[in-house]
Amino acid sequence: MRISLLGQAALIALLATAGVSHAAPYRDGHCQIDAPADWVKSKTRIARADKKMWASLLEAPTAAEIVNMEVGLKAVKVSEDARQVVLVSTASYGGLTNKLYHVVSKTSPACVADVAAPAGPDEALAKKIGQTVTAVK
């Protein structure tokens, strides 16, 4: 499953309002998201240069496995549709309170994009990046 053209346009518009010129695919295994093109890749994630926002990808055989794991870790389901489940949790590290969006694709394999952002205006961008998660061959 790939993000729709309308979804890509919405992400580009959101990134533009956040001062980001364009998005680029970030892939790990069979999972992919569209992240700001200026984010830096490492072995385990992709992050904004200041490292205050980051994203990582995981895969599992089913979406239910990932959702159960995230709920067990105190994430709260905020929405679900035929394509994905969106959960949110909070964590504090580095002296900051961060929102963590866990977006689980209902694909085979199932993919989860964990996207972290400081609480505040970057939350909408974090959620939107997470919602681009998809499985790729």
Backbone angles phi, psi at 9, to 5 degrees: -65, -40
Looking at residue 113, its pLDDT comes to 97
Looking at residue 137, its pLDDT comes to 85
Domains and CATH numbers, the chain: 5-135 (3.40.1000.10)
Q: Percent of the chain having pLDDT more than 90?
A: 74
Q: Locate all alpha helices (DSSP H) within 1-137, ordered by sequence.
A: 5-17, 63-72, 123-130
Looking at residue 19, its pLDDT comes to 46
Q: Average the pLDDT over each of 12-21, 36-45, 93-102 and give the range with the smallest value.
A: 12-21
What is the distance, to the nearest Å, from the Cα of residue 101 to the centroid of all Cα atoms in its chain?
6
pLDDT greater than 90 at residue 95: no
Contact between residue 94 and residue 124 where contact means Cβ atoms under 8 Å apart: no
Contact between residue 26 and residue 46 where contact means Cβ atoms under 8 Å apart: yes
Mention every residue, 6+ apart, whose C-beta is less than 8 A from residue 93.
none
Interatomic CA distance for residues 96 and 118, integer angstroms: 7
Please state the pTM of the whole predicted model.
Answer: 0.82
* Closest by Cα among 100, 105, 13 to 54: 100
Q: How confident is the model at residue 97 (pLDDT cuts 50, 70, 90)?
A: confident
* 3-state DSSP assignment of residue 103: strand
